[in-house]
Amino acid sequence: MRTDGNSAQSENKKASIGTYKIVPWEYKTTVKEAIEEIKSKIKRQKSKIQVKSQKLHVTSYMLQVVAVEQSLKSIPYTQGDYSTPVALIVGNETFGVLPETLALADQIVEIPMWGVNKSLNVIVSAAIVFYWVLKEKR
């Protein structure tokens, strides 16, 4: 954890209601910086798969970066691939996950909704997807 007097860091400490003392965390200036650091720590693994007699070379990270956002590229969260460790990205209430951040994700998932108001509170959305990921990993 950095202790550089950053005001965002102070806000995070206040919002955590003291849990920052027991949950390891780090502050990064940008999502891109955080993702790059996480991925640099994890070895890439290459695997070959056989599909209809064609050998495809697939590079897969041992970490899936999954953005939770409604997008033209998103799939229902129940269809996401959570077979490797997962880092979830959720946006904020006003802007959601920004396009430049979506571009960094390995997959984009959404919670399908119907009706006029097609949005959920960010923390509720995160909790739903976190629960599903944990359920899938059991």
Q: Is the pLDDT of residue 66 over 60?
A: yes
Report the percent of the chain where pLDDT is more than 70: 79
Give the model's pLDDT for residue 98.
92
How does the average pLDDT of the chain come out, rounded?
A: 79
50 bridge partner residues? 55
**Closest C-alpha among 128, 130, 131, 126 to residue 91:** 126
Q: Taking the CA atoms of 6, 13, 38 and 67 in sequence, report the sign of the dihedral they define.
A: negative
Between 136 and 107, the higher pLDDT residue? 107
Is the pLDDT confidence value at 46 over 60? no
pTM score: 0.71
- Over pLDDT 90: what percentage of the chain? 35
| Bridging pattern class, strands 75-76 and 107-110 | parallel
- The dihedral sign for the CA sequence 82, 86, 92, 98: negative
Comparing 74 with 92, which gets the higher pLDDT?
74
Which has more pLDDT, 20 or 80? 80
- Cβ atoms of 27 and 1 within 8 Å: the answer is yes
Q: Which domains does the chain have, with CATH numbers?
A: 1-29 (no CATH), 42-137 (3.40.1280.10)
